[in-house]
Structure 1
Amino acid sequence: MKKAVAIFILALLVISCKNGDGKSGYILPTSNGKTNKVLVVVKGIDWQGALGDEIRTVFGEHQVGLPQPETLLSVGQIDPSGFSGFMRNNKAILVLQQGQKEGLSVEKNKYAEPQIIVYGTAKNKEGLINLVKNRGKEIIKIFKDEDIKFTQRIFKKERIDETKFKTAQDLEITIDIPKRYRLVEDTGEFLWLRQHLKSGIARGDGTNNVLIYSVPLEDESNVADNIVAVRDTIGKKHIPGSKEGMYMITEQAFTPFTFDAEIDGKKAYETRGKWEVKNDFMAGPFINYTVVDKKNNRLIVFEGFTYAPSVNKRDFLFELEAIAKSMKIK
C-alpha cells in the first residue's frame, strides 16, 4: 500500500513539473475572463485621471454595424497592489507601467493558460497617455486576434463534419463550425446553418446564422462595390420572411462599412452592416466576408447574421467572425 502511494505521489510530481508547452515548471491554472474583455493593471489615481480617460476613449470606440452602441472591447481596472492570486489568471491583461525601455511587449501563458499579457511601458505618465493614444488600435488588434484563436481552438474540438454538406464539397472548402449549428438549406450552391440562441426576448426565435455560397469573379475592381447587390440577390432567393413578398435585404437606411481583409491567405473584403426583412419588422446585424479566389475565377462568400432583439450582439458577431476566419479554400 505504501509503495502504491509513493508511486502515485511521484507521478503527480512528474506531471506538475510540466506546463502546457512541455517545459519545466508547474501546471498552469485555466485562465478566466470573457471574450472581448481586458483587465487593465494601472494605479487607481491614474485610472481616474487623464490616462484612464484615454484608455476609455480608445477601447470605448464603437463596433461598426451593430444596432445599439457596443464597444470594441470591454475593460476593467485593477491597481497593481491588487494584481495577485486569482486576479492574475485573467485571459487578457494590459499592464501599463513606467520604465526606461519604452514600447509594447507581449507575454503569453505567464500565470494561466490560455493567457496574453500586453505590457505598455513609457518613461512617465504623459508617455503612457501618448502610448495608448498612438498605439491603442495595435493593442486592440493583439487582444482581438488572440480571442479569435482562442475561440477557433474551441470550435475545432466541436466542429461539424462539413464534408456531409454538398455545398462545402462542391466549393471545396473546410471550415470550423460548432455542432450546435443545424442545417437549414444545402443546395450544392448555397449552404445555410442556424444556431438557436438562449437569451433575450427572442429566446427560441433568436438565432445566429451562417451562409456560404459562391458567385463568378467578373471584374475584380468592382468586387467591393457589388457586395450589397449580391447579398440582396441571395436574400431574395434564399432567405424568406414569414409571408409572401417578405425576404432579407440590406437595411436601406444604414450604409454598410467595408474593409480590406484576408481569409486563408487570399484577398478578401469584410463588410459589416444591418439587415432587415422587406415589409416586416425583423432586423439585425451581419458580417460578410467576400473572398477573391482567382485560381477558380470566383468569389467565395461567407456571411453571418444575427437575430437577437433586446440583447447585445457584439459577441454573437464575434463568434461568426471566428468561424469565417477558419475557412480554408482548396
Structure 2
Amino acid sequence: MNKLIVLFALIFISISCKTEGGKSNYVLPTSTGNTNKILVVMKGNDWEGKIGDEIRTVFGEHQVGLPQPETLLSVSQIDPVGYKGFVRNSKAVLIIREGEQEKIAVEKNKYASPQILVYATAKGKDGLVNLIRNRGKEIIQLFKDEDIKFAQNIFKKEKIDETKFKTIKNLGISLTIPKRFNLVEDNGEFLWLRQHLKSGIARGDGTNNILVYSYPLEDESKVADNITTMRDVIGEKYIPGSKEGMYMITEQAYTPFTYDAEIDGKKTYETRGKWEVKNDFMAGPFINYSIIDKENNRVLVFEGFTYAPSVNKRDFVFELEAIAKSLKIN
C-alpha cells in the first residue's frame, strides 16, 4: 500500500509540473551576455559574405552624441551547428535563416531568462540582404527595448526612495533610480544626482549624472528649438566648473541631434549631444528628454550626462536612458 501511495504521488507531481502546452514548467537558467550586445546565428560563409557585410553596416552605425565612435550594438557571430548547450542561454540572439516568406518573428525566454530571440527570414541570400537593409533599424529597436527593460528590472531591485527628494515630490513624478546615485543638489525645483562609475551595469572612472527640472510650457512649437538654450541656462545656474566663470554648456563645435520620442505616453523630444565646461577642458556626452506635459502646462526635463575620460561611454549613456524611460507622472 505504501508503495502505491508513493507511486501515485510521483505521478501527480509529474502531471502537475506540466503546463497547458505540455511543456515542463521548470525554472529557466539565467541568460548570459551584456546589454547592447547580440549574438548572430548564421553560417560562417554568409557572415563573411554579403549578408554579414549588411549586418555589420546596419548594426555598426555609430551612436549619435558620443565623443568616440561607438556602434549602436556590438555584434558577434556563431555557426548554427555551434548554437547549442550554454551558448543558447545568450540574452539577445538574432537568427538568420532562409525561407519562402519574408518575416521577422520574436520569441522570448525560450532557453533562458530574460532572453529575446529574433528570427529574420527571407527568400535567398539577396532577400536576406534586403531584409537587413530595409528592416535592420526595426530589429535593432527590438533588442534595445528589451535591454531597457532588463536594466530597469535590475534598477528596481536596488531602487532609491525618490520620495525623499523635494524636487521629485514637487514635480509629482516617480523614477526608478539605483541607490548608487548620490545627492548633489535638491532645492525643490532642481535635482542633481551623481554616480561614481565604479559599480553598476557599466563600469569605469568618472561619473554619471542625473538632472531633473521643469519650466513653463509657453509655445509647444518652439520647445525642440530651445532645448540647447534651456540646458545652457541651467548649466550656468547650477553646474559650475572648477573656477569662477566656468560652467557646463552645450559643446559649440558639435550640433546635437533631436528625435521624436515618448515617455509615459507623452510627446517627448530626445536630444543627444556633447557638453563641455566653458573655459575648461572637461567634456562628455549628454542625453536630454524634454517631455510635453500639457496637463500641468510645463516641459518636464530629465537629463543625463557622463564624464568618463579616455573610455567608451555608450553603456554609461544607456543606463541614463533606461532611468529616464522609467519616469512616470503621478
Pair in the same fold by TM > 0.5: yes
Alignment of 1:200-215 (within 5 A): 206-215=206-215
Alignment of 1:207-226 (within 5 A): 207-226=207-226
2:103 alignment partner AA: G
2:152 alignment partner AA: Q
Partner residue, 1:31: 31
Report whether the alignment pairs 1:98 with 2:98.
yes
1:292 alignment partner AA: I
Is the CA contact 2:64–2:257 (under 8 Å) kept in the aligned structure 1? yes
Local SS of the residue matching 1:284:
strand
1:271 alignment partner AA: T
Partner residue, 1:269: 269
**Distance of 2:181 and 2:39 partners within structure 1:** 31
Deviation, structure 1 residue 100: 2.0
Note closer, same or farther for the CA distance 1:66–1:18 as it changes in structure 2 (3 Å cut): farther
Partner residue, 1:192: 192
Is the CA contact 1:165–1:186 (under 8 Å) kept in the aligned structure 2? yes
Partner residue, 1:149: 149
Alignment of 1:42-53 (within 5 A): 42-53=42-53
**Distance of 2:222 and 2:157 partners within structure 1:** 38
Partner residue, 2:134: 134
Partner residue, 1:236: 236
Is the CA contact 1:18–1:27 (under 8 Å) kept in the aligned structure 2? no
| Percent identity (aligned) | 76
Note closer, same or farther for the CA distance 1:18–1:64 as it changes in structure 2 (3 Å cut): farther
Partner residue, 1:71: 71
Is the CA contact 1:275–1:286 (under 8 Å) kept in the aligned structure 2? yes
Deviation, structure 1 residue 219: 0.5
Is the CA contact 1:67–1:284 (under 8 Å) kept in the aligned structure 2? yes
Partner residue, 1:174: 174
Report whether the alignment pairs 1:107 with 2:107.
yes
Partner residue, 1:60: 60
2:99 alignment partner AA: G
**Distance of 1:181 and 1:124 partners within structure 2:** 50
Partner residue, 2:328: 328
1:317 alignment partner AA: V
Is the CA contact 1:62–1:72 (under 8 Å) kept in the aligned structure 2? yes
Is the CA contact 2:286–2:317 (under 8 Å) kept in the aligned structure 1? yes
Deviations 1:61-98 (A, max 9, x none): 00000000000000000000100001100000000001
Is the CA contact 1:257–1:273 (under 8 Å) kept in the aligned structure 2? yes
Gaps of 5+ in 1: none
Alignment of 1:246-285 (within 5 A): 246-285=246-285
Moved over 6 A (4+): none
Is the CA contact 1:17–1:27 (under 8 Å) kept in the aligned structure 2? no
Local SS of the residue matching 2:254:
coil
Note closer, same or farther for the CA distance 1:17–1:312 as it changes in structure 2 (3 Å cut): farther
**Distance of 2:204 and 2:66 partners within structure 1:** 21
Partner residue, 2:116: 116
Deviations 1:109-130 (A, max 9, x none): 0000000000011121111111
Report whether the alignment pairs 1:304 with 2:304.
yes
Is the CA contact 1:217–1:297 (under 8 Å) kept in the aligned structure 2? yes
Say how many residue pairs are matched. Answer: 321
TM-score, normalization by structure 2: 0.92
Partner residue, 2:293: 293
**Distance of 2:204 and 2:120 partners within structure 1:** 44
Backbone CA RMSD of aligned residues = 2.4
**Distance of 1:77 and 1:140 partners within structure 2:** 16
**Distance of 2:236 and 2:24 partners within structure 1:** 58
Is the CA contact 2:240–2:248 (under 8 Å) kept in the aligned structure 1? yes
1:106 alignment partner AA: V
**Distance of 1:162 and 1:26 partners within structure 2:** 36
**Distance of 2:307 and 2:224 partners within structure 1:** 25
Gaps of 5+ in 2: none
Local SS of the residue matching 1:178:
coil
2:30 alignment partner AA: T
